[in-house]
Amino acid sequence: MSDDLTQLVIDEAAEKMAKAIERVQHEFSGVRTGRATPALVDSITVDYYGTTVPLKQIASFSVPEPRLLVISPFDKSQINAIDKALQNADIGINASSDGIVLRLAFPPLTEERRRALVKVVHTKSEEGKVAIRNVRRSARHDLDGLVKDEGLSTDETERAEKVLDKLTQSEIEKVDRLLAQKEAELLEV
């Protein structure tokens, strides 16, 4: 019975750590590299007939060239609302419109801007690592609760904590790999 409970605590921790990794990936996708990617704008919200909706629900995206993002609204009458939302999002790029589609041309990043974005990515990765460590701390607290409430032995607790530590280390290494990949992407000229 106690093995099932410890496994449940570890499985729950693994699930939460995986969500922290997903969050880091999502945060990284929003950091602009020298390339155009829909991830930079799909979380922007647009005032659509009085309702705030994500841009990805009212438009499609295409990347015909590495530094060009084309936004095609499903409802062409909303092109001005989308343009206004892009300006308010302050992504650092102005859209050009021909009345049918919006084009975002991404200029090459300066060396100074690349270094600043690397710092941003390092901060986001550290936040992800902290989230993973917080999950570990919470799981250890749950294991301590099992010792008190369910009479879990110290050997079983130590075994579970070792599994939890290995899991934590593995997830932190994933964040480090994601960071190295994004950093290389940012510094690529």
Q: Over the stretch 51-82, which tens digit does the pLDDT of each residue have?
A: 889 888 898 888 888 888 899 999 888 888 88
Is the pLDDT assigned to residue 42 strictly greater than 80? no
Domain boundaries 2-30+110-187, corresponding CATH code: 1.10.132.20
What is the fold of 38-105?
Gyrase A; domain 2 (3.30.1360)
Q: What is the pLDDT of residue 138?
A: 94
Q: What is the pLDDT of residue 151?
A: 76
Query: In this prediction, what percent of the chain has a pLDDT beyond 70?
Result: 96
Residue 28: both structure tokens together: 């990284």
Average pLDDT on 35-51 reads: 81
Query: In this prediction, what percent of the chain has a pLDDT beyond 90?
Result: 31
Domain boundaries of the chain, sorted by first residue: 2-30+110-187, 38-105
What angle (nearest 5°) sits at the alpha carbon of residue 67, between those of residues 114 and 115? 0
Q: Tell me how far CA of residue 71 lies from CA of 7, 26, 101, 118, 165, in angstroms.
A: 47, 20, 6, 27, 45
152: enclosing H helix or E strand: none
Average pLDDT on 144-159 reads: 81
Residue 147: both structure tokens together: 């010792």
pLDDT in tens, 99-141: 888 898 887 778 888 888 889 899 999 999 999 999 999 999 9
Q: What span, in angstroms and rounded, lies between the C-alpha atoms of 112 and 119?
A: 11
Q: What is the pLDDT of residue 55?
A: 86
Average pLDDT over all residues of the chain: 86
Average pLDDT on 6-10 reads: 89
